[in-house]
A and B are shown apart, each in its own frame.
Chain A
Amino acid sequence: MADNVLKVEHVTMQFGGVVAVNDLSMEVNKGEIVALIGPNGAGKTTAFNVITGVYAPTNGRVSFNGVPMIENHPQGKMKKNYLGEDPEGYPAKIVKTPDQITKLGIARTFQNIRLFKSLTVFDNVLIARHMRSKANVFSATFKVNAMEEKENREKTMELLKLVGLESSANEISSSLPYGKQRRLEIARALATQPTLLLLDEPAAGMNPQETDELSEFILQIKNQFDLTVLVIEHHMDLVMQISDRIYVLDFGKLIAQGTPEVIQNDPHVISAYLGVQDDE
């Protein structure tokens, strides 16, 4: 029996008339690398935003290591008539906020890079250590936590070395070239000490060689930090090379799932991608 880390059940996310994600169910097991693929606008990023608590979905549930993060709940007037039956079908309610979800061990990167732009590369990563700090505002102000602060700075430098940014530590993060910004986002996500890492198009804008290196890197950090990884990507080489399993979304709906071999030969997938050129 596989022990699933992340469980997404019947999630639907509507924006006005647009159904961005339609009845999506998926599971990610411990130690796996799972890819979420699909044409542009398929709803992949929206799925990430639901998992990390940024959007409250219209319907569905999400749990992480058995802890519910989004549940169905009768709300408002519905509560009066609720008799304790299975809440399936009731609107979804966020149980954990994004910061709580991060604390539980899910870290993410953003498709449209969201660094702390005017801060240094070093501070971008250091900030991610704040959440796990035991210091309160007084002990932090009066530097009672100097030991912890020193350790955080060392960890930050280690992570920057890992992604090859140690020489840019004092640069302002927005001045970095695109590729380095993406690596910085990964370092920052790792600094939160996650067990599940969500990567939203980490290879966007990279050439084949860089993409290859990134594949290696993802495998490396997966082993080094004992991670489970869920990755959205358009680069099929990377997807096929590193994933254990793949989910394919099209117009918000799951159209296929399985191992890379299965997906490569799935007629639904081939037709969904037909005419949709690899946009890189």
Chain B
Amino acid sequence: MRLLTHNMLSSNIKGVSNGFPLRLEVEKFIEKEVEFNADFLRNMFPKIEWKALVDAAKTLGYADLPEEADPSLLDSDDFLKKYHHALLELHVEEGVLICPETGRKFPVNKGVPNMLLHEDEGFWRL
């Protein structure tokens, strides 16, 4: 799981009003080189929850992202490289994602978060 995906995931357990961001506890992560594409990064920028990305990257020991980011930074190559690295090249392999409201843990195995809900957790069973 890349941090891009972590940035999109939220807990949808019944009754949870804000399931984002899922707290990240990491046992193992890897770095994989990914082709750089500035267009993709610019297109994604308005959709990224920046603080969540910064915090998640720090959990993986990567602290080079600025605490705050505005679109003017998208002209800087240096910024784009760091943003690219944090968003696409850091992969959580083993760990847990924790619902910020209920503390429910979603395990991550072999890089795949298990987001399956138990029968009594589904928001649709009203």
Partners in one complex: no
Binding site for B on A (CB under 8 A): none
Binding site for A on B (CB under 8 A): none
